Structures are given as structure tokens and as C-alpha cells.
Amino acid sequence: MTQDSPAPTAHPQRTELRADCANCAGLCCVALPFAASADFAVDKDAGQPCENLRPDFGCGIHAQLRDRGFPGCTVFDCFGAGQKVSRVTYGARNWRDTPGAAREMFEVFGVMRHLHELLLHLAEAADLPVGQPLRRELRSAYERVERLTRGSAEEVLRVDVPAHRERTGALLLRASETVRSRVRGRKKDHRGADLTGAALANAKLRGATLRGAVLIAARLNGADLRHADLLGADLRDAELGGADLTGSLFLTQPQLDSARGDGSTRIPERLGRPAHWVHGQST
């Protein structure tokens, strides 16, 4: 779970779409695999508890994750899937108390995270100036996906995630195009582009689409990213000092936390400024 970003004033609906570790049985610390790298200090197989996980499901080094070699943990957010699985799907039962159900819990958590990510984007899109017909479709889609998250473990595991992603993606694209069409001038299309390390300082990317673009270590200092579509863009180590992300579409807290910015970086009000930016750290 991300530790870097203080929660901004939350939209009531989105409050449930941000990780609440106090109400989760440490699912991300067990279900997910780690590979020893710059993001994680050790290897860990899926289903194996992290060596830093405490008996109360808290992290033993939460305040020192970056210093101890676990920056990957600080930029992870399950979008509220952890507490949904722990408190709703399994009614406060956990993988330690019911080891026979542990594998199923971990699988449910994986599906739930996908569904909660869809909910996060649908909630954002429904708040955009897209007109009532599309807003109704977005809200209806939100309600359908939300109902799926409240099903039994067996029902959650039967969810066709790719199909729901495809349908949701089409709605989000319509919302994005509606908003970006109001930006004057020609908008750049970098969907799926490999822009690793690209020199994009002061780039005019207002209203651009960067969906799925790989922007690892890209130099975006001072770039104008207002109303740019950043759905699924990989911003790891992207330099955002002085960049303007005001009104950017479908940017998530983990994306922001994985990038490098500073006090002059302008971010959407719905997101929190990463603490490692504020403290002047670059990683």
C-alpha cells in the first residue's frame, strides 16, 4: 500500500476505492510475488507472507520502506480491494485463521483489485463534463461492477475481467474524447508509445492521449499535461518537476507515486502529493 501520499479531500464514493490497510488482512503482502530488484529488497513467491508482515497484519518497517529497499510497496494501492475482500467477501475471516481458504482468498483479491480499478476510473469519468446521456451510462456501469464486487467468492472468481475491462474501456474512451475535444488545437496521439527516457521537457501535451504509453524515466519537466489522458501510462521514474497535470484524465495515485516530481509540479486536486517529492528525494 502506498505510504507516500497523504489522502486528499476525498470524493465520498472514492473513499472506498483507496487502500485501508487497517481493515485488511495484509493481502497484498502475501498474495503478490516480489522479485528482488530496485523496487524490492528480496524475492518472495505469491502466497508467501512478506518477511516484514507482523502478526497483526501491519508492516514492521512501514515508516522505513524506501530506506530498507522496498519502494515498490510505497507506490502500490489495491484501490480498496483488500478491505473489500477481508471485510465483505469473507466477513472478517482471514488467511491465517482459515488456511484452507487462503489460496482462494488470494485469487479473489486479484480479481477484486481489477474491479476496484474499474470503479475508480468510472467514478472519475462520471464526474467529468460529458453530458447526461454518457454520464448515465457511466453510472450504470459503475453500479454493475460494484454489484459484482459484493458477490460471494465463487461469484467473484467467475467474473470475466477482460470483458468488463473492454466494455469499461470503451466508455472511458468516449469520456476522454469528449473532454479532450474541448482543448483547442491539434492533440498528440501517443497511445501505447514507447517513450522510455524520452526528452519531453516543456512538451506541449495538453489534451494528448498517452494511454498505455511507456514513459519510464521520461524527462517531462515543465511539460503541459493538462487534460491529457494518462490511463495505464507507465510513469516510473518519469521526471515531472514543474509539469502541469491539472485536469489530467485517469491518472492514479500509484502512477503519481512512482514518478519524480517536486513542489512546483501541479497535480489534480483528487490526488495527494507524494511525500518523497515534498522531502526532495528522487526515488
Pair 34, 170 in one domain? yes
Pair 153, 226 in one domain? no
Pair 80, 192 in one domain? no
Structural domain including 171 reads 14-180
Pair 207, 160 in one domain? no
pLDDT the model gives residue 276: 84
Encode the chain (283 residues) as per-residue pLDDT tens digits.
454 555 444 444 555 898 999 999 999 999 999 999 988 999 999 999 999 999 999 999 998 998 999 999 989 999 999 999 999 999 989 999 999 999 999 999 999 999 999 999 999 999 999 999 999 999 999 999 999 999 999 999 999 999 999 999 999 999 999 999 999 999 999 999 999 999 999 999 999 999 999 999 999 999 999 999 999 999 999 999 999 999 999 999 999 999 999 999 999 999 999 988 865 444 4
Q: Which residues contact 265 (CB under 8 A, 6 or more apart)?
A: 240, 241, 242, 243, 244, 245, 273, 277
- Domain boundary (159, 180, 201) is at 180
Pair 176, 191 in one domain? no
CA distance 189 to 177: 12
Pair 82, 116 in one domain? yes
Q: Is residue 3 part of a domain?
A: no
pLDDT the model gives residue 7: 46
Domain count along the chain:
2
pLDDT the model gives residue 113: 97
Pair 153, 18 in one domain? yes
User: Can you give the CATH number for the domain in which 241 is found?
Assistant: 2.160.20.80
CA distance 20 to 78: 9
- Domain boundary (180, 207, 226) is at 180
pLDDT the model gives residue 14: 57
